[in-house]
Structures are given as structure tokens and as C-alpha cells.
Amino acid sequence: MMTAAEIRQKYLDFFASKKHQIVPSAPIVVKNDPTLLFTNAGMNQFKDYFLGNRKPEHTRVADTQKCLRVSGKHNDLEEVGVDTYHHTMFEMLGNWSFGDYFKKEAIAWSWELLADVYGIPKDRLYVTVFEGDEKENIPKDEEAWNEWKKVIAEDRILLGNKKDNFWEMGDTGPCGPCTEIHVDCRTDEERKLVDGKTLVNNDHPQVIEIWNNVFIQFNRLKDGSLEPLPAKHVDTGMGFERLTRVLQNKQSNYDTDIFTGTIAEVEKIVGKKYTAGDDKESVAFRVLADHIRAICFTIADGQLPSNTGAGYVIRRILRRAVRYYYSYLGYKQPLLHQLVAVLATQFEKVFSELKAQESFVQKVVKEEEDAFLRTLEKGLKRIDDIVNDAKGSTIDGKAAFELFDTYGFPIDLTRLIAGENNLAIDEKGFEAALNEQKERSRAATTIDTEDWFEVVPNNAVEFVGYTTTEANSKVVKYRKVNIKGKTSFQIVLEKTPFYAESGGQVGDTGELSFDGEVAIVTDTKKENDLIIHFIDQLPMNMSAVVSAKVDAERRKKIAVHHSATHLMHAALRKVLGTHVAQKGSLVNEEYLRFDFSHFAKMTDEEIAKVEALVNEKIRANIPVVIKEMPKEEAIAFGATALFGEKYADVVRVVIMDENYSVELCGGTHVGSTGELGFFKITSEGAVAAGVRRVEAFTGFAAEQFVNREFDSIREIRGLLKNPKDLSKSVENLQSENSELKKKLEKLEARQLVVLRNELLQKDEIINNVTFIGDIIEVSNADALKKICFDLKTNLNDYVAVLCANIDGKPFVAVGISDTVAAAKGLDAGKIIKEHVAPLIKGGGGGQKTLATAGGQDASNLQQVIEKVKGLL
């Protein structure tokens, strides 16, 4: 039996023999493509070839691509682990032709590989071909049908509709018919009972699609119409996990050696055996084996868990995994980080980036687990309150959504706990709250893009901004866009000096002049390989020669901060250690921000050393040398490359002393380090698990910062009467302030005793319960709560409600003895929420015997006292 590694290599070797260039996987996290958060198909890194924005270096390529599908159109998350073939991260084996071979070769090679090389029995294979679509006037794919007839029996060629056999990149763009290959993995007995062709594309877990050959021959326009592409392409994708399952003769992807090593490690950690069933415990094993891959490889490719965008998707996946081992494997401490090493070793030869960052990924994952386990415990306490507050036999849908949204509880876990308490969930209310959130999220990110209007045919946009900030050019194409209700336009030029936002450096601004008509460029961004200029108004004459002029002064300030980032990165590695790696950056005209891997707060001494080293290099006025060379040569030269970046075969290397800073970088820089003037770090702190952030100024911005600081010191000196020793003077002030605070606290404590004794003289008996209610004068809410609590030592069966108007704001404390709470069924927390909070237009809560509230309306404090009194 072939191992998974052998199956992968055999695929790559086969297409290498067919004259395909074997290329590395693109990062799983997508950059410079506003339509995607993650690589969700093998073709993503080749989109520009299909769109005509870039010419391919090789017309035939093949690879294995890391993919992730958990959001948007391809959302398989809830099926992952429940069934045996959906995954979050998966490998997509693919071969491509960019205007080279087409249907004949693609179909013949697919059959040769599956039937002859891999040896899949031919009587287990079925293929589907596009049946055509009358509405769109697209005929049946006769060419594919005829090619398949050469290698497979005609009764195994099935017709498929547009949903199954017509592939589209999105609402607009390249598309075309596809032919899928399906494998019947059932036993011989099952195959005799039911014909496999009736189960194709019918969600049968054992009759599965294994390979899709897409023939890209059309372009979908905004109005829905199709136009033929000038060149025809082949785009194929074969799920590596499914292929391995078939070739290893397993009934589940999770039974292959892609996952068995991880499952065995989980068994060892939790002390339980995986039974491969449909029970929650088995599902939990599969969830962990799948999710740890998505978590590890996205972090290794540079995406840290966070509360927004791609980072939030990873956090959701990680938390789903934590919930499963916590609830169904009974494991109450961090587990996922213990699986990183197994995965790193398994994929060392194919995706080496995880092994290179194994320690970093482990620490990030563990910190995320620790944080969510704390939240999970709070959520379980919150659900107890919700169960107790449930009206009738139903948990409110909004409360169920709160558990999902705030505490990360899946709805099925809330259902389980509700069932244990003989309660149901308001499912419609939950769905309504969930859909409301989705609509808000969708509305906030909606970008309506119209079709490109082509002015000059061109598929190779030239950037000339490294050597100039001005250039004459022509408009290649433009389009109208609507972002959050605001209309603007995007323009692509034949050649442009405008730098598009990339690598942490912000996009250039400036102006485009069309025969004297000026359009202000508000931003410049990349969309795949296009450089897009954002303007608010479209000029009248789009065919005129364009004078493109970058805001050169702003560009220089940006370049100063970018060069300083390189000097600082090298200094951090020398001061803190070579484990330091860039994890994100922002470079603009005002300051620089740099995120890097490091697991301790930088000391003042370390910050000073980094600053001194950078300033030393600035004073040395080192020439900034920029060279272009093959990527392998650059790496051998010692250039620092970033994990998660996709580099071209020829790269740009920025050198500031060969023995100090050598980095791969596409940004703009100064001519020599002396142009930076001066460098100063302004802040250092944590932004994520194992990631620190430094902010700094250089050049004119640093000069302004230092001047502001000196102005502040001068002002403080003046306030302190210009002491000789400023530090000593501040220390004396602090010491004096501390002594005064202690004296004040003693005076307040005495005052509280006096107030408490006065209150004890104002008690009255109501139904055998001592009641005290009064509006008193205190300086803060804590004092009010303390007096209410202190009454407990002087009273037995009592209820106390104390109110105060502090700086115009009402505050209330309610205290109840244990005996009265039990005998009368009173709860201070509920009294605050139901009776007090509405009267003072505020909120609060607490325990059964002591609770507090604050609000906005202090006019009803006497009513508060009467209301609580009335409860007796």
C-alpha cells in the first residue's frame, strides 16, 4: 500500500514527465486579493493568468496547494468531523495549462494517471460532462464527451447540469464547463445491489468526486452574459485526502495515514480510543485531527488568531476544537499545542514552514487555548443563569445567541445543556439574531464592482516608481465601484510611478492629469497583479495621455520609515536573538509599526540597545543597495524572507551592509541610511500570543516627537518651580500624595463608622424583619457598598437599601441577611435588576445577599427605598 507521501510524489512526478513545471504551494493566507481571505482552490495563485493581467512564465504547471474552506461560498465547517470527507484545510493536487493543451490531453492524462499509474479499477470510475444550458445558449460539451469515449465505456459517462458541471470563479470573470471523475468505493456486494451511476453527485459518502477538470473558455460579464476568452486554459483539482483514502482502500479520510498519526497522539493525551463511529467522542477525534492542520498552517503562513477577518476565522476553528475536547473528550486543559510537533514532522518535506516555526506556533496555540478555556468556564456559568431565568420551558433565542457570539458556544452545545434541564431553545429567535449579525457584517463589507471597461489592450502593467515619481502613461482600463454606498472609480495605467499598498507599506497618493483635467489619487492598491489607482471623479477624456504624479514629499517620508524598519529588524535580531521574525508591519508617512515573534516584554535596556544600534547605522550613512537576483541565490546570499509571502522566481534584495541587513523587499527606500536622520522607539507591547509590537519614528517625524517630549518636560519643570533634580522632585510629589491618600482613607473609614451607627438608629421592624432605608452622603460607590456590607455584623434578620447621589449620578446598594433571603425568597441581585435599575435608568447586579446598581436619574432615590420596603 502506498503511503500518502508516495501518492503525492507520484502525482507530481507524473506531470513532470508531461513537461509541467512543479511549483511550490502558495501561502494559505491570501494577500492582494480583496475577494479572498484564504486560498480556497489550487487556481487562486494563477488567477492573473486566467484574467489576462499577467503572462505565465510556464504554460504548464503542477503542484499541491494548501487550501482552506470555512467561509463564504465554500463553507464546510459544520460538516467537518461529523462526516468522513469534509475538511477545513486540505491539499489540492492540480495541473494547469495556460493557453497550451486543452480537453484532449487533460482527459487522456487524467485517465492514464488514475487507471494505469495508480491502478484504480476501471469499473469503479464514472465521469460527468456538462449537458449544456438552453437559457445561456451553451451547448453540450461534445468535445469532452468524445474524448472520454476513447478511454471509458459510454454508459459510465454521465451528463451533469450547470450546478455540477459548469465552473465559475465568481459572479464575474473566467469560467467554463468541467468534467468530474467519481469513484465508487462501496463493497462488491453493495455495488451489485445498486448501480453506482445512480449515486453520482447524490451525496453518497462512498461514491465521491475525486478530480475536477475545468476548461476555462468564457468570461462572465457583469450583466451575466458570456464572451469567449482569447486563450483557453485547463484548471484541474484533485483532493489529496480523498485520493489517498481511495488508494489506501479506507472507508474514511481519517483512516488514512494523513490523519492516523494525529489521532494516535490524541488517544495518548486523553487516554481514550478512537472508535471511528458517529458518536460525539469519535467526532471530537476527527475535529481535532482536521482543525489542528488549519490552525498550524495558517499561523505558520503569518496569520495570527484575532477578532477580525482571517484571524477571526482561525480563532473560530481553534475554539470549535477546544469545545469538542472539553465537552466530549473530558479534557479540561490545553491540548491542541501538544499536536503541533506531530504535524510539523509529518509535513517537513512538503511544507517545511511549519517545522521552521514549530516552537512559535506551539506557543501561539497554547495561549489561545488558555484564553478560551477561561472564557468557556465563564460561559458555562452564564448558561446556568440563563437556565434559571428561563421563562416556561424555553430558553430565549437572544440568550442562546449571546452564548454563541460572546462565549463561543455552538448552538448544539446549548441544546444539550438545555435538554438536561428539560428546556427547549427558541430556535427562530436564535436564527433571527444570527441572521441579523450576518446582515450587518455583509453590509459593512459589501463592495459592488462593475465590469472593467478596456481602453487599451494590455496584459503587462509596468511599475516605474522605484526610479521616478512622475511618468506619462495611458489608461489601460477602468471601472466603477460602490463601497458602503459611496461611488468611486479604479483606473489601471500602462505604466505607473504609484506604489500599490504591499508588504506593510501604504499606497501612494497624488494626481493624474488628463489634458489639464486633474483627478486626485486617494489611494493605490494591488488586486492580484494589477496596480489600481483610486479616484473619486472620472475624467472626460479617458483616452488622453495621462501625466501621473506621486506626492513625492509623502513618498519620501514613507521611504524613510521603511528603510528604518529594515535597520530595526536587524537590530532586534542582534539584541534579542535570531528567533525574531517579522509578523506584520505598517509603514506610512507618520510612523512605523513592526510586529515580531518574541515571548517576553523588551526591557528598557534592550530598547535602548536597539535604538543605539539603528542610530549608529544611520550615522554611518550606509548606501542602500538594491539588487535583483534569482530567489534561490538571494536566500543563499543570506536574505531574510518572510513566512507566508509568495515570491517570484526573480526577487528584489535590499542591502544595508551585507553583514547587517539583507532582506527580500518590494518597497521603496532611501538612497543611504544617513537620510533617516534619527530613530526613536515610542512604544513596545504585546499584540498576540508570542508577538510583540514596536512603534517608532524616524526622520522629521522623530524630530517632531523629540520636540514634543522636550516641551512636555519644560512644562512640568515650570509647574514644579524649575527644580534642579526633576526626578527627585516628582518622587517627593508622589510620596507626599501617597501619605495624603493614607490620611484621607483613615478619615473616610471613621466617617463610615459614624454613618453606619447613625443608620442603626433608623431601623424599623416590618413583618419581623429589620428594615433600614436611607439616602446618605458618601464620596464613592465603594463606600456605599462597604457600609451596606458592614451592617451585616450588627444586624440579624434584615433588609437594607442605601442610596447616594454622587456628582449627580444615583447609586444604590441592597443588603439582605441569609435568613431573610431564605425565608422570604428575596434575592438582592434580582431586586436590583427588576425593581431598582428601571427607577434610576441604569443597571447592576450582584449576589443574593448583596447587590449594587448605578444609573442616570437621581430623582427617584426615595421611590427606590419605598419600592424595596414594599417587598416586605
3-state secondary structure 158-201: EEECHHHHEEECCCCEEEEEEEEEEEECCCHHHHHHCCHHHCCC
Digit-coded pLDDT (tens) for 787-818: 999 888 888 899 999 999 999 999 999 999 99
Res 636: pLDDT: 84
The size of the chain, in residues, is 872
Res 369: pLDDT: 93
Contacts for 177 with CB less than 8 Å, ≥ 6 apart: 129, 130, 138, 141, 144, 165, 166, 167, 214, 215, 217
Contacts for 587 with CB less than 8 Å, ≥ 6 apart: 504, 505, 506, 558, 561, 562, 565, 593, 667
pLDDT average per 10 residues of sequence, the chain (872 residues): 94 96 85 68 74 81 88 58 82 92 95 95 95 87 94 93 86 88 92 91 89 91 84 92 94 93 96 91 94 93 81 85 90 95 94 90 91 83 81 83 77 74 87 77 64 81 93 93 83 95 93 92 89 92 92 96 96 92 91 91 95 96 94 85 76 93 93 95 88 93 90 90 88 92 86 88 90 91 90 89 93 94 90 92 90 92 93 88
Are 679 and 698 in contact by the 8 Å Cβ rule? The answer is yes
Res 444: pLDDT: 52
Contacts for 727 with CB less than 8 Å, ≥ 6 apart: none
Res 36: pLDDT: 67
Could you give the 3-state DSSP secondary structure of residue 521? Answer: strand
In angstroms, the CA 68 to CA 509 distance is 34
Buried b (16+ CB within 10 A) or exposed e, 350-381: bbebbbebbebbbbbbbbbbebbbeebeebbe
Q: Which of 861, 831, 867, 835 is nearest to 846 (CA)?
A: 831
Res 243: pLDDT: 95
Helices (H), 216-330: 240-247, 260-270, 280-300, 309-328
Contacts for 845 with CB less than 8 Å, ≥ 6 apart: 829, 832, 833, 851, 852, 853
Q: What is the residue type of 4?
A: A
Could you give the 3-state DSSP secondary structure of residue 445? Answer: helix
Q: Are strands 546-550 and 625-630 parallel, antiparallel or unpaired?
A: unpaired
For the CA atoms of 355, 359, 365, 366, the dihedral, rounded to the nearest 10 degrees, stands at 150
In angstroms, the CA 129 to CA 107 distance is 11
Helix (H) or strand (E) holding 96: strand 89-98
Supply the DSSP symbol for 28. Answer: S
Q: Tell me how crowded residue 544 is: count the other CB atoms within 10 A of its CB.
A: 15
In angstroms, the CA 222 to CA 172 distance is 6
Are 499 and 667 in contact by the 8 Å Cβ rule? The answer is yes
Are 836 and 867 in contact by the 8 Å Cβ rule? The answer is yes
Are 683 and 607 in contact by the 8 Å Cβ rule? The answer is no
Digit-coded pLDDT (tens) for 240-251: 999 999 999 998
